[in-house]
Amino acid sequence: MDASGNLYSTAYSGGINNCLYDVGCGLVFEISASGAESVLYTFAGAPDGANPGGGVIFDAQGNLYGTTFYGGTGSNCEDPQFGCGTVFKIATDGTETVLYSFKGEEDGGYPNGGLVLDAQGNLYGTTGNCGSSGCNYGAVFEVTPGGTEALLHSFAGGTDGAYPIGSLVMDGQGNLYGTTAQGGGSGCYGGDGCGTVFELTPQGVETILYRFNGTPDGSYPAGGLVFDDQGNLYGATASGGMYGYGTVFVLPPGPEFVSITINPVNGEVGVGETLQFEAFGTYGNGTNKNITSLVAWSSSNPSVATIQSGGLATGISAGTTIITASYEGIAGTGALTVN
């Protein structure tokens, strides 16, 4: 919705009838506060995209952004004639630009949800198929304002989750939250799992916040999530629950971050040699996560040893220094002796 109360969204089909299944390539429309509809853009198939899903979002200048399930110029697609999907922009004058065409396989394919925008203008979304695990389980992607795409996480199925087909939400720290329709463990869909709720840091570190069980909590969470002011996440499942027809659920904020442990606690290295440190976060529910790439590393005596952002320490001169890993106001320490 814009400031005047006009609504904007997408129609998956309709419009020009030269796309897959002959149901039209879809369009972007506006409905005014009085109920009048205007078609802002009609997709024509490859290369401009086809069959948009997940709605659209605004930037500060009033440009619209979204995804199409088909279309684009990708070649490693299930049907190259119709492409693997796109990320698109529609300017305020109605001009459409394809920011990225998915190739399938390693870069993802067939985005079915909408997008979320960060303060730098980067766009984030999900592909229901493809990724670094092959065209199997889907991925979370980032597209820069200049049209460069990167995968933040490729799902591996099983306990990791599979098939994220809903939109993402972002918190104030840039962490992304979403659902996978399947995966998460045993049960449902031949043992592949009933779906998950996941968190992804800006660096691409994934945490599974919840794994669905089918009954009584639900299964197949195919849509996205929303926050309330307290950080609770709300969503819905398409099946499962007490009667088998789905649930509406609330998930409280994740467990409290408690402490950091460094490995090794007491390391030794020669002058000019290196040693890799790792950091592990402990949470209030007893779980642990490798947060080596998230913490800020420091050495108390850089003349003895220095340490890089990824935890790699280098011996400079003989002596002992304290290595510190800090994250979210919590610090963990270890000692490094240089011989």
For residue 142, the domain's CATH number is: 2.120.10
321 class by beta-carbon count within 10 Å (0-12 exposed, 13-18 middle, 19+ buried): buried
262 and 298 together in one domain? yes
What backbone torsions phi and psi does residue 304 show, to the nearest 5 degrees? -90, -45
pLDDT value of position 133: 52
112 and 143 together in one domain? yes
139 and 114 together in one domain? yes
Query: Locate tokens 């952002």: which residue?
Result: 309
Q: What residue numbers bound the domain in which 132 lies?
A: 7-251
For residue 145, give every residue at least 6 positions away whose Cβ sits within 8 Å of its Cβ, in sequence order, or none: 120, 121, 122
**Peptide bond just before 47 cis, omega within 30 deg:** yes
221 and 75 together in one domain? yes
Bridge partners, residue 223, by sequence? none
230 and 279 together in one domain? no
202 and 272 together in one domain? no
Q: Is the pLDDT of residue 89 over 90?
A: yes
Structural domain includes residue 1? no
Strands 330-338 and 149-154: unpaired
167 class by beta-carbon count within 10 Å (0-12 exposed, 13-18 middle, 19+ buried): buried
217 and 93 together in one domain? yes
| Number of helices and strands in the chain (H, E) | 0, 28
Q: What is the DSSP string of 275-310?
A: EE-EEEEEETTS-EEE-TTTSEEEES-TTTEEE-TT
pLDDT value of position 184: 84
Query: Averaged over 31-48, what is the pLDDT?
Result: 93
172 and 232 together in one domain? yes
Query: Locate tokens 């240089």: which residue?
Result: 338
Bridge partners, residue 58, by sequence? 64
CA angle 128, 130, 294 (to 5 degrees): 85
69 class by beta-carbon count within 10 Å (0-12 exposed, 13-18 middle, 19+ buried): buried
pLDDT value of position 131: 54
Structural domain includes residue 2? no
Q: Token pair of 33, please? A: 């506060």
Q: Could you tell me which of 197, 227, 232, 224 has the C-alpha nearest to residue 212?
A: 197
- 212-247, pLDDT tens digit by residue? 988 888 999 988 999 998 889 999 999 999 999 999
Strands 278-283 and 305-307: unpaired
121 and 162 together in one domain? yes
331 and 211 together in one domain? no
Q: CA 286 to CA 255: how far, in whole Å?
A: 9
CA angle 188, 189, 192 (to 5 degrees): 80
Structural domain includes residue 279? yes
Q: Is the pLDDT of residue 136 over 90?
A: no
Structural domain includes residue 104? yes
CB 299 within 8 A of CB 276: no
Number of domains in the chain: 2
239 and 263 together in one domain? no
- 97-107, pLDDT tens digit by residue? 999 999 887 78
Final residue of a domain: which of 201, 225, 251?
251
Structural domain includes residue 164? yes
149 and 238 together in one domain? yes
Query: Averaged over 142-168, what is the pLDDT?
Result: 91
pLDDT, greater one: 72 or 256: 72
Task: Of 11-20, 45-54, 116-125, give the range with the top mean pLDDT.
Answer: 116-125
* Amino acid at the residue 47: P
Query: Averaged over 106-119, what is the pLDDT?
Result: 90
Strands 226-227 and 233-237: antiparallel
**In the structure, what pLDDT confidence band is assigned to residue 134 with cuts at 50, 70 and 90?**
low
Predicted model pTM: 0.77
CB 150 within 8 A of CB 125: no
